[in-house]
Structure 1
Amino acid sequence: MKQYLKLDDWSVIEEDFNPEHHEISESVFSIGNGHMGQRANFEETYSGSSLQGSYMAGVYYPDKTRVGWWKNGYPEYFAKVLNSTNWIGLKVVIDNEELDLNIAKVSDFVRELNMKEGYLKRSFTAELSGGKKIKVATCRFVSMKVREAGALRYAITPLNFDGELTLTSYLDGDVKNTDANYDEKFWDPVDETVSNESATVIIKTKKLNFHMASTMINEYFQNGQKLTPEVKVAKREKYTSQEVVLPLKQNEETSVVKVAANVTNRDHDTSSLGEVAQRVCRSAMEKGFDRLLSEQKEAWAKKWETSDIVIEGDVSAQQGIRFNIFQLNQTYTGEDDRLNIGPKGFTGEKYGGSTYWDTEAYCLPFYLSTSDQNIARNLLVYRYKHLEKARENARKLGFTKGALYPMVTMNGEECHNEWEITFEEIHRNGAIAYAIYNYVNYTADRDYLGEYGVEVLAEISRFWEERVHFVNPKAVYMMHGVTGPNEYENNVNNNWYTNRIAAWTLEYTLEALAHVNETDPKRYEALINKLDLTEEETSKWSDIIDKMYYPVDEESGIFLQQDGYMDKEQIHVSELDEKHLPLNQNWSWDRILRSCFIKQADVLQGLYFLNSEFDIETKKRNFDFYEPRTVHESSLSPCVHSILACELGYREKAYEMYLRTARLDLDNYNNDTEDGCHTTSMAGTWMSVVHGFGGLKVQSDRLVLNPFIPGQWNAFSFKVLYRKARLNVQVTKEQVVVRNETDEKVDLTIGEEQFTLEGKEEIRTAMKK
């Protein structure tokens, strides 16, 4: 765990440059706007260790699967989010010496991610050979207002000399992915054009025919006055540049403003990409850097208006939650229903940047409560549009009916190639079904069931129907050969969570069908005909519900993670020497599989999802047993534990788990932030506050709050959008204040008290002790 970032309410700040931290910082200080994103690579040359990354939403590459032993059903490819044209690049040469922070003596280094206003700035002093010193100040952002544009300002001030600056601004599409399976480059050249006014690079993927055009325009200034220097242009395959030579005077600032546009044929006609990129870039540059930055600040102010969480008295916790909210807001905006939320967002390449079950299980609640409900709806419609692919995925694995949603995807097709996950981690289907329930329960948009939801639910239920098998001697249905959420157990029989979420899906599907039949009989009849759904099938589902097998340890009264779990040597994580942690970086895989240790919430995931089905004592018994055996080496683990600990009154454990999820990347808990931030788990941080400390639930069409405040905090507050109403919830050690900021009334329960909160009304109630 590397704690080197300064604590601040609204910024992430790095003081002093340490190359050992650089790749971690490249992830943490990433910027994005839902359309594109950029790791915090330096603009100038850096010869040290770096993961260069500039990413475009929805643009990917089907990298050929790399495995030692091919198995029937393996996907042909693993979808990679593509490292694309480097638009920030500057080559800075001072008196024939290139600026390189891996070589120069660096002092006064400060890097700041301003989360409130959405920009990254950096300053430092560099001493070159011969003792020449320069001060550099940079600022850049990708625009929330002009989503296809990014801008930077790079300023140099010589501190102890007069000299000459040779500045080369470039676009470089000759890039590769760090995670390329066969070390190949994924882009081919299309066109390069460059003039004194602008430069453009157009590239295309070697497969799938994605085209991307990038255009840059540069303007130069000294002491605030615009310059018109002579420009030397150059181009080669997938590269264009503009070079200027400028005099430097001691203590006088020389700067370049660079605006770039990145457009793809996902949004525009392929033949016109170059023209579109030119038009977007010119329009942005006409606004100028200061106006673009002002628009950026305004756009982020609107984001924070509905999604901010305020924590008083604990700067570490405050910074953590805002960092997570910031990354979520710059990763996915909901404007494009073809997009989803990659587990690394725009911060790195690991995991392929594709869609996982993380979206439905962890991200959906954030967007439900902080954005217009159509944004959350789009996340569900995304899966509906992939239903046919999910059916194909099931057929590839030998199923005759039903749909199996992929573990990893870009277009609905499975592209994950680890057998124990691709073939066995089928609980992902349950998360898709649960997301439909969660959305409908929260928004009361029950029309969604007839429009889209029932089709998805029915096909998932058909998959479960075929995946279980009936055991005659015991008269129960079982599921063998699965991997639950705890990936430190593979190929197990009767994973409790998988069995339970499967049976629950069948239950909810029958409820959804009944609702559509009752409210819209014509639509119901059309769905039955479209799905060719028979009474025989639905009767079978009821039978599976009634006779599903759940492993239980009778002596302790806990739900067994899977058959045989108690046969393992039972050890608590606290008994391990710290040198063994994290296990996945210190133990062989077979040793992990033989141990009792748990990667993330598994049984507890079920208790979290299906919370109202279990009494408090059942939750307590299972939490007390499983949490001490959990190493939390999945980024998705701490938030579930924090929420359950809140409900159980385990205040210190709740806070410990919250801080771990909130600062997972800022403090590099799992020693892997250099690969990219854990974007999808960041929604779990929000859930830890709102669902955990705030105790927010929706039960019987009432919004329920059951808050408590950690001892480390003086107060906290959050806002939630709930069925067209926006509520501001403030919690102190003495009272809970809920203010309705809209005209929509809300039925509300706080603790044991019930209220009807009228429009613009405020209620106050004492905190329970």
Structure 2
Amino acid sequence: MKNYIQAEEWNIIEEGFDPHLNKISESLFSLGNGRMGQRANFEESYSGDTLQGNYVAGVYYPDKTRVGWWKNGYPEYFAKVLNAANWMGLGIRLDGEELDLNLCKVTGFKRILNMKEGYLERSFNAELASGKQISVTAKRFFSIANDEIAALHYQLTALNFSGKLELTSFIDGDVKNQDSNYDEKFWDEVGRTQNDSGSYLTMRTKKTDFDVVTGVKTLVFTKAGQSQLSADTAVKDKYLAELTAVDLTAGEAVDIYKIATNLSSQNYDSAELTTSATAVLEAAVLKGFTALLEEQAAAWATKWEEGDIIIEGDVAAQQAIRFNIFQLNQTYTGKDARLNIGPKGFTGEKYGGSTYWDTEAYCIPFYLSTAPQEVSKNLLVYRYKHLEKAIENAQKLGFDKGAALYPMVTMNGEECHNEWEITFEEIHRNGAIAFAIFNYIRYTGDQSYLKEYGLEVLIGIARFWKQRVNWSEARQQYVMLGVTGPNEYENNVNNNWYTSTLAAWCLKYAVEATEIVKAEDPARYQEIAGKVNLEEAQEFADWKAVSENIYLPYDEEKGIFLQQDGFLDKEQTLVSELPASQRPINQKWSWDRILRSCFIKQADVLQGMYFFEDDYDMESLRRNFDFYESRTVHESSLSPCVHSILAAKLNDGEKAYEFYLRTSRLDLDDYNNDTEDGLHITSMAGTWMSIVEGFAGMRVRNNQLSFSPFLPEQWNSFSFNIGFRGVQLKIKVTRDDITIVNPAKTMMDINIFNQLHSVPAGETVIAWKGMAV
């Protein structure tokens, strides 16, 4: 665990430069706008340890799967979001001496990620080997007001000398991914242009043929006026540069501006890319850096108005939740249904940047409440558009008749995960997608989604579950063999309780959804039934038989659901008995030892109890929570939030707060020693859930919002906004009461501590322990 980030409500602050922490900071200070993003690499040269990263959403490469052996049904490739052209590069030489923070004395170093206005600022003093001293302040941002634009301002001042600054402003497309096979590079240069409007480098991905043009306009100003740049005549492949030399006078600043655009053939005709980039860039340059930054601040003000959470009395908790919300909004904006949320967003390359089940299980609730309805709907439409690929994925594994298995990892709907125990066995992802459809409709009331998109997906998923189980003569029940549950420290187990519970629910919900569409729009039902060849009578009978007769392991003596068959055969050691020197076990133990232990990577049984909490009484929840929590090492970023929510429901404030702080500061404090690879974007939505569903106890029941809040001892109050069915409510929880402001023009009925309150249009209701004041 690291502890070098200063606690501050609106800013992430690092003071002092430690090269050993640099890659962690590159992740923490990353920027993005939903369309493109970048790690917090330095503008100037840096020869120290770094992970260069610039990314364009939706652009990927199918890197060949590498395994020592092959199995039928294995994916041919592992899709990777690509490290793209570096647009911000500045080569700086002072009287012939290069500025490189790895080779000079650095003092006064400070990085500030301003989350309120959406920019990164860095400042430092450097003393070169010659004794020359300079001061630098750099500011940059990726515009969410115009997601095709990014910009930076780099100001350099000579402190103790006058001399010559030689500047090279470049675009470098000669890049590779950190984990590329055999260090292969995935881009070819297909075009370059330099003129008065800027420099434009067009790169094309191998195999997938995505074209991306990176355009940059560089402006340099001294006290004497604007300096002219000239094209670098030393032509290098995949590289464009402009050069200038200016006189430095001690105490006087040189201001360097770079305004950039990235456009891809996803959104523009390849033949028109440079022309389009020129128009975008010229318009941005005409506005200027200051005006663009003002637009950025205004756009972020709107984001915060919709989705901020305010915590009084706990600065570390306040900083953490805003950091998580900030990164989620940088990663996904919902403007494009072809895009989804990669586990690392624009902050790193681990996991390939592809889509996982995390989106449906963790991110959907956040966007439902903090963004327009279309945003979460687009996340579901993304899966609908991949339905045919999901059916193909199932066919590769031997399933038929329209059974659909959604991929564990994907860019275009095809499975591209290269670990057999995940690819073939972690099939609970199917259930998360079905549950997200249910959750979306429950929250929005948009029942029409079923007939537009959802029902076809639910039928495909139900067909998969029907074929995936088999009848056990010994048990006289259906069983689910050879699966991996959310706890990936168990592979190839039989009857994982969570997977089987989710499968049974999916089968029931598919029948219910079909009946709803059939009743509300018979013509559409007939259209869907014909399209998917639904044999209603037989298939419904089969689905009901499985859902009502599936085996769910349970231990009568302990009164707990068993994670899977044989779980109690393991030596039952508690996490509290693990020496600190042995953790994290995924970095200290052999895989064989992990698989034979009872230790749990993340919520598994408890994940199911979180999804279907209304099916279990408090005592059952408490028994299972106490049993499994004490055996969970939380070495998945997705784990602490579920435990926090359940602990809050059980009125265990100490544990709820402990898990909230762990999930919210997972990256800021580098709990799992892996932040340098990139941030855990999808789990950040779980941080929001920990507060809103945990501490505030928000649920949707009977088409109404329900709250059962409590306040952690460390906080004086917390407040947040919730968008629900067209109304933006303001909620505040204090030690004594809960305040609900309804600014809408319609009345809203809300359940507080199991008592119904009507909140009139434009008015405020204050409740305390369920009693109106």
Q: Do both share a fold (TM > 0.5)?
A: yes
TM-score range (shorter-chain normalised) is over 0.9
The equivalences for 1:532-611 within 5 A come to 532-534=533-535, 535-611=537-613
| 8 Å contact kept, 2:728–2:743 | yes
After superposition, residues 446-525 of structure 1 pair within 5 angstroms as 446-525=447-526
CA contact (8 A) 1:106 1:127 kept: yes
Contact 1:121 / 1:138 at 8 angstroms: preserved in 2?
A: yes
Alignment-derived partner of residue 374 in structure 1: 374
Q: Which is worse superposed, 516-525 or 390-399?
A: 516-525
Return the letter of the residue paired with 2:66: R
The one-letter amino acid of 1:638's match is P
Letter in structure 2 aligned against 1:72: N
C-alpha contact (below 8 Å) 1:725/1:745 kept by paired residues: no
In the alignment, the residues of structure 1 paired with residue 42 and residue 729 of structure 2 have an alpha-carbon distance, to the nearest angstrom, of 41
Quick check: 1:96 aligned with 2:96? yes
Aligned equivalents of 2:217, 2:21: Cα separation in 1: 32
Corresponding letter in the other structure for 1:700: N
- How far, CA to CA, are the matches of 1:561 and 1:228 in structure 2? 68
Task: Give the CA deviation at 1:160.
Answer: 1.0
Cα pair distance change 1:80/1:683, threshold 3 Å? same
Q: Where do 5+ consecutive residues of structure 1 fail to align?
A: none
Counterpart contact for 1:61–1:82, Cα < 8 Å? yes
What amino acid is aligned across from residue 470 of structure 2 in structure 1?
H
Q: Is 1:418 the equivalent of 2:451?
A: no
| Cα drift, residue 279 of structure 1 | 1.5
Shift of 1:147: 1.1
- Contact persistence 2:197–2:282 (CA under 8 A): no
Q: Per-residue displacement from partner, 1:599-657 (whole Å, max 9, x unpaired)? A: 00000000001111111111101000000100000000000000000000110000000
SS state at 2:58 partner: coil
2:227, 2:246 within 8 Å by CA — same for their partners in 1? no
- Residues 1:723 and 1:768: Cα distance change in structure 2 (over 3 Å): closer
Letter in 1 for 2:516: H
Question: 2:745 aligns to what?
Answer: 743
Alpha-carbon separation, structure 1, partners of 2:279 and 2:543: 57
The 2-side partners of 1:352 and 1:768 are apart by 48
Letter in 2 for 1:269: D
Tell me the residue number matched to 1:252: 252
Following superposition, the deviation at residue 181 of structure 1 comes to 2.2
What is the RMSD computed on CA atoms of the aligned residues?
1.1
* CA-CA distance at 1:197 after TM superposition: 5.0
Q: Offset of 1:361 from its aligned partner? A: 0.1
In the alignment, which residue of structure 2 is the partner of 1:430?
431
Deviation, 1:526, is 2.1
Cα distance 1:453–1:232, how it changes in 2: closer, same or farther (>3 A)?
closer
1:166 aligns to what SS in structure 2?
strand
Change (3 A) 1:333 1:221: same
Tell me the amino acid that sits aligned with residue 627 of structure 2: F
Instruction: Tell me if structure 2 keeps the 8 A contact 1:196–1:242.
Output: no
Determine what percentage of the aligned residue pairs are the same residue. 59
CA contact (8 A) 1:196 1:231 kept: no
Partner of 1:352: 352
* SS class of match (1:275): helix
Aligned to 1:313: 313
Instruction: Quote the Cα distance in structure 2 between the aligned partners of 1:19 and 1:526.
Output: 62
| CA-CA distance at 1:513 after TM superposition | 1.1
Secondary structure in structure 1 of the residue aligned to 2:745: coil
1:295 maps to 2:285: no
Partner SS, residue 83 of structure 2: coil
Q: Counterpart of 2:339 in structure 1: which amino acid? A: L
- Which residue matches 2:44? 44
Q: Please name the residue that 1:222 is paired with.
A: 222
Where do 4+ consecutive residues of structure 1 move more than 4 Å?
A: none
8 A contact 2:177–2:349 mirrored in 1: yes
Query: What is the alpha-carbon distance in structure 1 between the residues aligned to residue 352 and residue 13 of structure 2?
Result: 28
Which amino acid in the other structure matches residue 173 of structure 1?
G
Q: Shift in Å at residue 474 of structure 1?
A: 2.0
- Per the alignment, residue 690 of structure 1 pairs with 692
Provide the rounded CA distance (Å) in 2 between the counterparts of 1:749 and 1:197: 59
- 5 Å-filtered alignment, 1:160-179, equals 160-179=160-179
Give the counterpart of 2:665 among 651, 656, 663.
Answer: 663
Give 1:553 deviation, angstroms: 0.9
Q: Counterpart in 1 of 2:5?
A: 5
Q: Is the 8 A contact 1:355 1:408 kept in 2?
A: yes
1:635 aligns with 2:637: yes
Distance in 2 (alpha carbons) for counterparts of 1:751 and 1:710: 17
Q: Distance in 2 between matches of 1:273 and 1:503?
A: 50
- Preserved CA contact (<8 Å) 2:718 2:733: yes
| 2:755–2:770 CA contact under 8 A, matched in 1 | no
Q: Distance in 2 between the 1:666 and 1:180 partners?
A: 27
**Structure 2: 5+ residue stretches without partners:** none
CA distance in 2, matches of 1:63, 1:249: 51
* Structure 1 residue 756: Cα displacement: 2.0
Which moves more between the two structures, 577-586 or 271-280? 271-280
**SS of aligned partner of 2:181:** coil
* Distance (whole Å) between structure 1 residues aligned to residue 767 and residue 3 of structure 2: 39
Q: 1:707 aligns with which of 709, 722, 729?
A: 709
**Cα displacement (A) at 1:768:** 7.0
Q: Report if the CA contact (8 A) 2:227-2:244 is conserved.
A: no
State the SS of the aligned residue for 2:232: strand
2-side partners of 1:591 and 1:743: how far apart?
60
- Tell me the distance in 2 between the aligned counterparts of 1:230 and 1:459: 59
Distance 1:400 1:277, change over 3 A: same
SS in 2 for 1:157: strand
SS in 2 for 1:742: coil
d(CA) in 2 for partners of 1:374, 1:581:
42
Summarize deviations over 1:579-609 as a string: whole Å, max 9, x none: 1111111111010000000000000000001
Following the alignment from structure 1 to structure 2, what is the Cα–Cα distance between the partners of residues 672 and 100?
26
Partner of 1:150: 150
For residues 270-298 of structure 1, give each alpha carbon's deviation from its aligned partner in whole angstroms, at most 9, with x where no partner exists.
01111111221111111111001000000
The aligned counterpart of 1:231 is 230
Structure 2 counterpart of 1:565, one-letter code: F
The aligned residue for residue 322 of structure 1 is 322
Aligned to 2:208: 208
The residue number in structure 1 matching 2:755 is: 753
Structure 1 contact 23–51 (Cα < 8 Å) conserved = yes
Residues 16 and 540 (structure 1 numbering): CA distance in 2 closer, same or farther, change over 3 Å?
A: same
Q: CA deviation at 1:233?
A: 2.4
Would you say how many aligned residue pairs link Structure 1 and Structure 2?
768
User: Any conservation in 2 of the 1:191–1:238 contact (CA below 8 Å)?
Assistant: no
The whole-number CA distance in structure 1 between the counterparts of 2:225 and 2:289 is: 13
Q: Distance in 2 between matches of 1:630 and 1:371?
A: 33
Match for 2:148: what amino acid? Answer: E
Shift of residue 758, structure 1, vs aligned partner: 2.3
SS in 1 for 2:720: strand
Range 199-208 or range 359-368, more displaced: 199-208
Quote how far apart the aligned CAs of 1:129 are: 1.7
Aligned partner of residue 716 in structure 1, secondary structure: strand
Contact between 1:2 and 1:668, CA under 8 Å: does it hold in 2? yes
1:531 counterpart = 2:532? yes
CA contact (8 A) 1:387 1:412 kept: yes
- Deviation at residue 134 of structure 1 after TM alignment: 0.3
Deviations 1:72-131 (A, max 9, x none): 111000000100000010001001100000011000000010000000010000001232
Q: CA deviation at 1:196?
A: 5.7
Give, in whole Å, the separation in 2 of the partners of 1:655 and 1:583.
24
For the residues of structure 1 that align with 2:269 and 2:577, how far apart are their CA atoms?
61
TM-score relative to the length of structure 2:
0.98
Return the offset for 1:228: 3.1
Question: Quick one: which amino acid aligns to residue 663 of structure 1?
Answer: R
